Amino acid sequence: MGKPDSDFQNIYLSPHFDDIAFSLGAWVAARPSGVLINLFTRSQYVVGAKAADRPTADEVSALRSAEDAAFARSHNLEKIELGAKDTSVLGRSYNDLDGLAEDRAQIFTPLEATLERLARHAQLQIFCPAAIGGHVNHLATRGVAMDLLERLPGVRICFYEDLPYAASRSARRRGLLDLRRVTAGVRLRRRSWKAGTGKLLDINRYSSQHSQPVTDLRRFSPASVWPMGMHEAVWE
């Protein structure tokens, strides 16, 4: 993508603990090292938990952080947690945009400080969610990252196609239309690469987010006619 990757330090913005493994696991595995910044790390969401026996936010957050730590260790990623509260903790639906301003406010200052510190030591290539699927935490991450670009000269941004959301043709179409709307006037180029079955290991590290082990990549590949086969993609 453009200049050689070695000229940049890869910075991965992950709204939740699993987003980078799900959306960019094959990319990260092929290029270990970089900084993984988890934003909305206070969570109470695990698959299958009933309201009566749902674990506490402390328990869920610790569990999900441990799952993510295994992913980070396996790919030599520095792991940073910003401590914002996700929608499950705040009692909101993931697509309730009334909470967008609150979510942006939660992450703006800590993300700004973190990126400014990192930018003092290297050129940054930031991987940011395209916000396909309309999750309010993803939209907040995208919006704040775009705001901060003006304060970080020389930074490259790549919007990754959020998985599993982008595996839906309709969600992907709506999400890309919205991405083009907010980046109006900027030419975006799609870059894609193959994702092999090795990605399944990283996906299944996050067992709290699956009702059963994932055995194929159909839900973790964009619904795009090209390239053929399982892949990942960003808009640069």
What is the pLDDT, as a whole number, of residue 215? Answer: 96
3-state secondary structure (DSSP) of residue 40: coil
Count CB atoms within 10 A of the CB of residue 134: 16
Per-residue pLDDT of the chain (236 residues; tens, 9 = 90+): 444 455 789 999 999 999 999 999 999 999 999 999 999 999 999 997 665 677 899 999 999 999 999 999 999 999 999 999 999 999 999 999 999 999 999 999 999 999 999 999 999 999 999 999 999 999 999 999 999 998 898 899 999 999 999 999 999 999 999 999 999 989 999 999 999 999 999 999 999 999 999 999 999 999 998 898 999 999 99
Quote the number of domains for the chain: 1
Q: Please report, to the nearest 10 degrees, the dihedral formed by the alpha carbons of residues 185, 190, 162, 117 taken in order.
A: -70
The candidate with the shortest Cα–Cα distance to 8, out of 37, 40, 34, is 34
H/E stretch holding 119 reads helix 100-119
Count CB atoms within 10 A of the CB of residue 92: 18
User: What is the extent of the structural domain holding 140?
Assistant: 5-235
- How does DSSP classify residue 24? H
What is the pLDDT, as a whole number, of residue 51? Answer: 57
Gap between the Cα atoms of 225 and 11, Å rounded? 28
What is the pLDDT, as a whole number, of residue 2? Answer: 42
| Cα distance from N-terminal residue to C-terminal residue, the chain | 8
Q: What is the CATH number of the domain that holds 223?
A: 3.40.50.10320
